[in-house]
Structure 1
Amino acid sequence: IFKILDQNKPELVLLDVQSVPAGQEGWLAFDVTTASNHWLLHPRSNLGIRLYVETEEDRSLSAGWIGLVGRRGPRSKQPFMVTFFRENQVPCRPPRAVKPHPRRKKPKYDLPVPNRSPANSGGQPCKKHELYVSFSDLGWKDWVLAPTGYSAYYCDGECFYPLGSCMNATNHALIQQVVHLLKPDEVPKACCAPTKLSPISVLFYDDNNNVILKKHRNMVVKTCGCL
């Protein structure tokens, strides 16, 4: 499979090669990451990709003649591209406790602040961390066709007091954190957990060996927060 550089000239860049024995049935997966990364930076350079089929004797064959399904085939067997985008994560620093100005009158609706401050454990604040899940490592490669894995991410870290806006804390977490400072042996700290998740599409075989494309909910952590 090649990336097209010029429609008017035979200028191609090799992206990937697959060796397919006669009689094989199933999906062919090609790595076109190099092309897609370049197209994201230079969209006008996207002239598409081209597939060639050759025998070991370098004899060209028609893709349709050897059985490759094209755009006219069944919808469940249409060629498609799987792309993953990594979200930029802004580092979150632990907020500092700020003492109110002595001349400023404290509003009645403010939460009470205990006269004790938690010990600094030196841990990292609650945030999203990298986690790539490989379906092959899970033993699912025999029935999951695509993708081969995905970036699931996970949440980890401490919910420091006071809880800053970058920690996406709920009102319940704010109250729980205050009560924890007053009664540390009775009430635990607020926990770092996913606050927003997104789905992924998975192509797999069902029990009847039918190829199914299904969107699974709540598979990727988008944001973390204190709950």
Structure 2
Amino acid sequence: AEVDVTPYLMLGNSSAGTLALRHICVHAGRAGSRDAPVAPSHPFLLLYLNDTQAGLPPPAAEPRRHRRDTGVLAHDLPGYLREQGGEKSDCSLRPFPVSFAQLGWDHWIIAPHRYNPRYCKGACPRLLRYDYHAPNHAVVQSFVHQLVDANVPQPSCVPYRYSPISVLMIERDGGILYKEYENMIAESCTCR
């Protein structure tokens, strides 16, 4: 998840702010055998600052937040993701069933008549999560686009893994052949 943490900074007597975070594991799982517990994961936090040279804004008139409020950020994240269009516009796999007749290939492909090659569509998030399997280059390119030069394009949503398709086809000599074509169905997406 990505969130602007500026409103959660607690300002003291100095101009330096403090940010208190508490990590709560919501989905505890098991690895390997049924009884082998998974070691608790450590949260990964990446902070970057926009250099406004103005420092933090002056504290608001509202009362200072106390340590017991540190869990508020976790409660705000679902709303934040909905507001940003999260799941609907994120880079993801989309269905696209097509017939070989539509492609003009039905004169040499006997079966199957249809297949779903799928495609990837959507915006790549500014912070590329581990489940995108994005290369390091894409992570750097995203930061360059945001912080250095907006003319550098953001990473693009593209297929990451593919599976084959098996077909029965008519050969030039009229014979029938079973053939497997690699990389015909997109199975997952990434940002590159």
Shift of 1:165: 2.9
Cα distance change of structure 1 residues 137 and 184 upon mapping to structure 2, 3 Å threshold: same
| 1:115 aligned partner | 50
Find out whether 1:197 has 2:103 as its counterpart: no
Aligned-pair CA distance for 1:185: 3.5
1:9-65 CA distance string (max 9 Å, x none): xxxxxxxxxxxxxxxxxxxxxxxxxxxxxxxxxxxxxxxxxxxxxxxxxxxxxxxxx
How far did 1:199 drift?
0.5
**Aligned partners of 2:84 and 2:4: how far apart in 1?**
19
What is aligned with 1:211?
A: 176
Q: CA deviation at 1:98?
A: 5.9
- Cα RMSD, aligned residues only: 2.7
How many pairs are equivalent? 125
Q: Which residue of 1 aligns with 2:187?
A: 222
The aligned residue for residue 30 of structure 2 is none
Q: Within 5 A, what are the aligned runs for 1:60-99?
A: 95-97=1-3, 99=5
**Structure 1 pair 124/103, CA: closer, same or farther in 2 (3 Å)?**
closer
The Cα of 1:121 is off from its aligned counterpart by: 7.4
Structure 2 counterpart of 1:186, which letter?
N
Q: How high is the sequence identity, in percent, across the aligned residues?
A: 34
Query: What TM-score, normalized to structure 1?
Result: 0.49
Are 2:91 and 1:185 equivalent residues in the alignment? Answer: no
1:170 corresponding residue in structure 2: 135
Matched-pair contact (CA < 8 Å) for 1:159–1:167: no
Pairwise CA distance, 1:103: 6.6
CA distance in 1, matches of 2:20, 2:108: 68
Residue 150 of structure 1 is aligned with which of 115, 130, 133? 115
Q: For the Cα contact (< 8 Å) 1:113–1:178, is it kept in 2? A: no
1:175 to 1:167, Cα distance in 2 relative to 1, 3 A: same
Is there any run of 5+ residues in structure 2 with no aligned partner, and where? 10-17, 22-44, 52-82
Compute the displacement of 1:111 (Å). 6.8
Q: What are the Cα deviations for residues 156-190 of structure 1, in whole angstroms up to 9, with x where unaligned?
A: 00011112234332221111100111234331101
**Shift of residue 112, structure 1, vs aligned partner:** 6.9
Letter in 1 for 2:172: D
In structure 2, C-alpha distance between the alignment counterparts of 1:98 and 1:151, rounded to whole Å: 39
- The structure in which a higher percent of residues are helix is 2
TM-score by length of 2: 0.57
**Contact residue 114 and residue 178 of structure 1 kept, 8 A:** no
Contact preservation (8 Å) 1:114, 1:181: no
**Contact 2:144–2:150 (CA under 8 A) maintained in structure 1:** no
